[in-house]
Amino acid sequence: MKSEPDEVSIDDALAAPGKIVPWVGVRNYQARNFMRDAMRVGDGVLFYHSSCAEPGIAGLAEVASTAYPDPTQFDSGSKYYDPKSTPDNPRWMLVDVRATHKTRLLSLPELRSLPDLAEMQILKRGNRLSITPVSAFEWRCIIQHIQ
């Protein structure tokens, strides 16, 4: 799951109450569907810093709730406000994410250098999704290299 560290960094997440952050602001249907349909409480999460000086995996986390409506879509003062969404028929969902560890930065160039990760979705050309699945094989590879 990508987060801009200027918005929510791994340090911010670890400092939050219960180390939990609600993953607000996702406004892409595919990314929403991953949270709504594919994620289960306890699933592992790679906390990825994007749009920053050193993009890469900065920590580990886990899914901490099932999906529920993103409250920011109803808040006209929020930059994530969506006037086309209503509480009766919410368009955007999110899950809570609980940070578990800060890791050394596994930088984007380092990720790209690992042959086992060649098929990883986040590394595919043109990928812009802020949430992408990670295979068990890729997860093990990353956990090994992060040590």
Partner DNA sequence: GCCAACGTTGGC
Residue of the chain from 6, 11, 15, 28 that contacts DNA (CB under 7 A) = 28
Residues sharing a CB contact under 8 Å with residue 2, sequence separation 6 or more, in sequence order: 48, 49, 50, 122, 130, 131
Closest approach, Cβ 62 to DNA, in A, equals 21
Stretch that binds DNA, among 5-13, 14-22, 97-105, 125-133 (CB under 7 A): 125-133
CB-based contact 68:93 (threshold 8 Å): yes
Is 133 one of the binding residues for DNA (CB under 7 A)?
Answer: no
**Cα(50)–Cα(3) distance, integer angstroms:** 6
**Cα(132)–Cα(75) distance, integer angstroms:** 27
Q: Which is nearer to DNA, 1 or 60 (CB)?
A: 1
Is 113 one of the binding residues for DNA (CB under 7 A)?
Answer: no
Q: Give residues in contact with DNA (CB under 7 A).
A: 2, 27-30, 50-52, 55, 108-109, 125-130
